[in-house]
Structure formats: structure tokens, C-alpha cells
Structure 1
Amino acid sequence: MNRPAVCVVVPVYRAEATLDRCVQSVLSQKVAGGVGCVLVDDGSPDASGALCDAWAARDPRVRVIHQEDRGVSSARNAGMAAADSEFLVFLDSDDALRPGALQAALQAQQAAPGDFVLWHYTTGEADPAVAAPDADPRPPQGLARLWLDCLLAMPWNKLYHTALAQQIRFNESYTLGEDLQFVLDYIALLQRQRPGFSYRVVRSPLTYYNCSQTGTLSTRYHANYCEIWPQHFSKLNAACLAAQCPAEDLRLLHRAELTVYAEGVADILRRDPAPLDGLKRDKAAAALRAPWLQTLLEQMRAERCYSAYYLPCRWRSTRLLYTMAEAKRTGSPLYGKLDWAGYYLLLGRLRRD
């Protein structure tokens, strides 16, 4: 088989119900230069590995790697190392590429060879939007905005140069947020290799994202959540400062980071497996004393950036924070009341916008 123009790497684990749709969405792509697919069976205990082999047996564009259960980052690293294409795309086994997605991404890249191409996604499998290469340029200073627009943190809505991507790896020691680390490492590599590059965001949703199958804060508890995210956010903040992102974007980014962290603290109280409530409170209280959080709060005060979680975190009140997070999660009007009460207590010294 000749070297394809683009290779799609799919980590596979417990994907019996969705793998056929995923692979079919890849192989049905019409791409000048051809498409390849690397399926990495990460020790899946169901029939996913056999399904991978069946696809490889009937289509030479499919290659299969079987490995012990080492996690999604290891699977992506193995698939990336095996890719022999000019470009690389990641896809999760419960997601799918929309018709025309790869050709649209490649055309957007051809229109701006030095740029980093990203695209929107949809959670509606029957989304009527047509995949098209029309894209919006964004300057390097738009990095924080990409995160705020939910376009940065995932690896599967981006077109990578395979030779560049193979110079870095997903950090297999992380169980949460490792995707953001990889993307930031790739951007740093691009900055060294291609100074002055910009981002190009394809307007069409090119990936169907099946959010119902993904372990998120609402569906899966991570005991070290409040230890991991400060590491990721520190790296993100450093990258945004290096990119000279506008102060307004940084202010909004810091507000979003506080929300992510505070709701992680609340999740300790909600779902940590500690046998005693007192142990949960101690763990949550320790998270509120974290130096990273104190630095973030000082930054927000200097920026005059208000958040509903600002005072609960400043006061280190696990009870108030949990009350607010639960009210927000359940859609209770109490959240809005406590939000505005905090704003008025600060006498308008911080900005809500």
C-alpha cells in the first residue's frame, strides 16, 4: 500500500457497539492521496480486538496493533508511531468522522500550509451541516480563546503533521487532561519549527463527538483531580503568556479555570470514596489551601475578575462551595442568589463581564 495522505489513529477499548461506525466513517472518506487507519486494541476485554482484525482482513488500509491494557495515551502513542502518512488525525472509537471531513481539513491546510488546522465538532449524529474547507484564521495570540471556545483541549479535532507529532508523546502517567498537554507540546514544537504560524479553524463540524460515552467530571470521579488540573493549567497559562494573549482573554481563562477547580473540590465532597465524611472534608479543605489556587485568586483580584466561586475559595469554605456547586448542578435558583450575593459583598470591585 502506498503512503496515504492522512492516517487516522483510533484507540480501541470496549468499543463493540461503536467501532464499526467509527471505522466505516474513516474508510468512506474521499481523500486525494488516500486514507489509512491504525486501530490500537488496548487489551479490550470484549470482542473489540476481533472486530479490529476483521476490518484489517477485508480492507488493506486498516492496520491493527494489539497491546496489553496500558491506557488511551499508550494506545495513541503506539498508533502515532505506526503512522506513515503526511498528516495524522486522532479519533476515538465511540466517535466518527463526518462525510467529507478529511478532505475539508486537507483543503484548509493547503490554503494555509504553515498554519495549524483545527475544526468544530457536533454532538448530533444526524447534524445536517455539510463539511466544507471554509476556515477562520486566528493569530498566535488567540490561544486562550481557543481553550475558551472548547477547541483546544482535545486531540481529535486537529490535523497534525505526522513527522512533527512523532517527535512528542502523550504523557502516559496522567489519567486526566493528558490531551491538553499533548496539544500544547505540539504547539510549542510548531512555534520552534515554524515561527509565526497561525491557527485556522474550519467552520464546519468535522467530527461527531459522542459525549454520552466519555468519562467526564459528571460521570467519572478522579481522586487526584485537584492535583492534576493545576499542572495542566500552569502549562496552559505559561503558553498563553508566551503567546501574548490579550488581557481580556486571560481574565476569562482564569475565571474558567477557577470554575473547573472549584467544581472538582465539590466533587471530592460528593463522590470521594473516603469512608468518613470528615476525611472528605479534610481533602477538600487541603485542595482549597493549594498554593496554585491562592496564586490564581491573587491574579483574579489584580484583574478585577469576579466568579461565583471566588469568595467560597477565598474564604476556604467547603460548605459554601459545595452548596453553590450542587445548586448549579441541579439547576437550583439558589446558585444565582448566592452568585449575586457574593458580587454585592465585594461592592462591585470585581467585574462580572
Structure 2
Amino acid sequence: MEQPTVCVIVPVYKAEATLPRCVQSVLTQQVAGGLRLILVDDGSPDNCGALCDAYARQDPRVTVIHQEDRGVSGARNSGLSAACGAYVVFLDSDDALRPGALQAALDAQAADPEALVLWNYTTEEQDPAPVTGAVHTAEQSELARLYLDCLIAMPWNKLYRWEYARLLKFDESYTLGEDLQFVLDYIALLGRKCPEFHYAVLESALTFYDCSRTGTLSTRYHEDYCEIWPRHFEKLNAACAAAACPGQDMMPLHRAELRVLAEGVADILRRDPAQPGGLRRDKARGALANPWLRELLRTMTSERCYSPYLLPCRWNSLRLIWALAESARTASPLFGKLDWAGYYLLLGRYARD
């Protein structure tokens, strides 16, 4: 088979309802040099495997891999092993590429060969905004800001050079946040191969992200949530330090990280499968004792970086953490009251934003 310009890798699992939309969105792309679609049936118990085979019979650009259930990371790794050509794009089976997406990304890459091309996404399936080639450039030192702008953590909004991506793997031992690990590994590798690289951010949304899905990471409970995210954030902060991200970007990043950990502590109290009461509280206290979290609190104190969770976490107050997280989750006005109470307890000497 002739080498395509771009390979699109789609992990497939329990996606009968959305797979046709996903596949159609890829195969209708007009790409100079051609494309290849790799569907990885990850042991899906429904009819997805047969659907994938039907697409392969209908279109020679489709390759199907059937494997036992290894999870989304294992499926992406299998897709990477089978990929070829100049570039790789990841896509989830319940999402879709917008018309003209791939060529817009390739045009941006051709115009700026040293760049890592990435793009925004939309949650509107019929988003009326046109796909354009408008791009803005971001330097390596803007990594923290790009993360805060929801452009770094996911793998499916980037154009990867196949020659580099094939050297990496998604870590199959993680059940949460493994996407961020892969992206940071790719950025580090790109920095070694092309020290002067920067980011080319397409201003158009090229991917439709289906946020109506159920059973996502945002809704499922993860027992090791408060163990995993400190590892991810430690790696993210190290990458930001290596990129010389400025303090004005690191402070909001630290606030975001503290919120994630504090909300994870509250989630232990809310729905950990341990018996309600003492066991949940013990696990939550253990999460607050995480060395990375204690170091984050010291860093935020030295930065005079305010977060409503700063004092409750410093005090190990499960009651206050719970009250803040629950009021934020339910949009209760109590959150604002607790937020300002903490700020005034610090005499207004910390930066709020």
C-alpha cells in the first residue's frame, strides 16, 4: 500500500452508536497525499468488530486490528505500531473530525515545519463556525498556558510526526490521565529532536468532542485518583520548568492542580467503596499527606498564590474541603462565602488571579 500522508488511529470499544459518524468524518476528509484509517477493535463485546470489518471491505484505506481488551492505551499502541506515513492523528470513536480538519492541520504544518500543530475542539456536532487556516504561534514557554487553555492534556487535537510518535507508547498501567503522559513525552522528544520547536495553534475547532457520553472519566469513580494525579502533575510541572514558563502562568496552573486534588479528596468522602465513615476519612487524610501535595502547598504559599482550597488543605480540614467541593459541584452560594472567608483570613495579601 502506498504510504499515506496521515494515519488516523481510532480505538473502538462499545461504540456502535457513534462509530459510523466517526468513520464517515475521517473518510470524507480531502487530504493531499491520501489518508489511512486504523480501527482498533479492542475486544468490544458488541457489534463493533463486524462494523469495522465492513468498513474495511468497503474502503481500502481502512485497516482493522482485532485484539483482546487492553484498554484505550493498549488500542492506541496497537494503532501506532501499525501506522505509517508522515503524520499520525488520534480520534476517539465517539468523536468526529470536522470537514476540512486534516488538510487545515497539514497546511499549518507545511507553513511552519518546526511547529507542533494543535487545535481547538467544539462540543457542538453541527457547529456553524467555518474551519479556517488561521493560526497563532505559541512559544515553548507557554506550555502552562496551553494546558490551562485545554490544548495539552488530550492526544486527539495534535498532528504528530510519525517518525517520532512511533518511538513512544501510551502507559497501559494508568487508568486515568495517561493521555497527558503521552503528550508530555512527545513534547520532550520533540524538544530533543528539534530544540527550536514551537506551537502552531489553529484557531478553528477541528474536532467535535462528544461530551454527552456517559461513563467517562469525569463521571466514573477512580479509587487511585489521588495517587495518579500527583504523578501526572509532577511531570507537567517539570516540563513547565524545563520550558521556563513564567510565574504568571504557573500560579493559575498550581491553583488548577490544587483544585483537582482537593476535589479528589472530597470524592473519596462522597463515594469511595470503603464503608462510609472512618475508612473513607482515613483514605482522604492519606491523600492530603501526599508529599507532592504538601510541596505544592509550600510552593503556593511562597508564591502568595491564593486558592479557596489552600487553607483547608494546609489545615487538613476534611470538613472544609468537603464543604467547598460540594458547594462548587452544586453551584451553591456557600462556595463564594467560604472562598472570600479564606482570602480575608490571609489578610488579602495573596493573589487571587
Same fold (TM over 0.5): yes
Instruction: Measure, in 2, the Cα distance between the counterparts of 1:119 and 1:25.
Output: 17
Instruction: Measure, in 1, the Cα distance between the counterparts of 2:275 and 2:63.
Output: 46
Q: Which residue of 2 aligns with 1:108?
A: 108
Q: Which residue of 1 aligns with 2:269?
A: 269
Q: Which residue of 2 aligns with 1:135?
A: 135
Instruction: Measure, in 1, the Cα distance between the counterparts of 2:50 and 2:39.
Output: 11
Instruction: Measure, in 2, the Cα distance between the counterparts of 1:280 and 1:217.
Output: 21
Superposed displacement of residue 271, structure 1: 1.1
Q: Which residue of 2 aligns with 1:147?
A: 147
SS at match of 1:212: coil
Q: Deviations over 1:123-182 (max 9, x none)?
A: 000111111221100001010011010100000000000110000100000000000000
Q: Which residue of 2 aligns with 1:33?
A: 33
Instruction: Measure, in 2, the Cα distance between the counterparts of 1:348 and 1:217.
Output: 36
Q: Which residue of 1 aligns with 2:317?
A: 317
Q: Which residue of 1 aligns with 2:79?
A: 79
Q: Which residue of 2 aligns with 1:56?
A: 56
Instruction: Measure, in 1, the Cα distance between the counterparts of 2:55 and 2:312.
Output: 53
SS at match of 1:160: strand
Instruction: Measure, in 2, the Cα distance between the counterparts of 1:349 and 1:246.
Output: 21
Q: Which amino acid aligns with 1:305?
A: C
Aligned residues: 353
Q: Which residue of 2 aligns with 1:46?
A: 46
Q: Which residue of 1 aligns with 2:97?
A: 97
Q: Deviations over 1:82-116 (max 9, x none)?
A: 01121000000000000000000000000101110
Identity %: 68
Q: Which residue of 2 aligns with 1:117?
A: 117
Q: Which residue of 2 aligns with 1:243?
A: 243
Query: Does the aligned pair in 1 maintain the 2:8–2:91 contact within 8 Å?
Result: yes
Q: Which residue of 2 aligns with 1:335?
A: 335
Superposed displacement of residue 61, structure 1: 0.3
Q: Which residue of 2 aligns with 1:212?
A: 212
SS at match of 2:168: coil
Instruction: Measure, in 2, the Cα distance between the counterparts of 1:241 and 1:288.
Output: 24
Superposed displacement of residue 276, structure 1: 3.2
Give the gaps of 5 or more residues in structure 2: none
Superposed displacement of residue 349, structure 1: 2.1
Instruction: Measure, in 1, the Cα distance between the counterparts of 2:110 and 2:327.
Output: 48
Instruction: Measure, in 1, the Cα distance between the counterparts of 2:215 and 2:230.
Output: 20
Q: Which amino acid aligns with 1:266?
A: A
SS at match of 1:341: helix
Change (3 A) 1:349 1:216: farther
Q: Which amino acid aligns with 1:89?
A: V
TM-score normalised by the chain length of structure 2 = 0.99
Instruction: Measure, in 1, the Cα distance between the counterparts of 2:139 and 2:276.
Output: 50
Instruction: Measure, in 2, the Cα distance between the counterparts of 1:85 and 1:157.
Output: 18
SS at match of 2:70: coil
Instruction: Measure, in 1, the Cα distance between the counterparts of 2:108 and 2:140.
Output: 17
TM-score normalised by the chain length of structure 1 = 0.99
Q: Does 1:185 align with 2:188?
A: no
Q: CA RMSD in A?
A: 0.9
SS at match of 1:41: strand
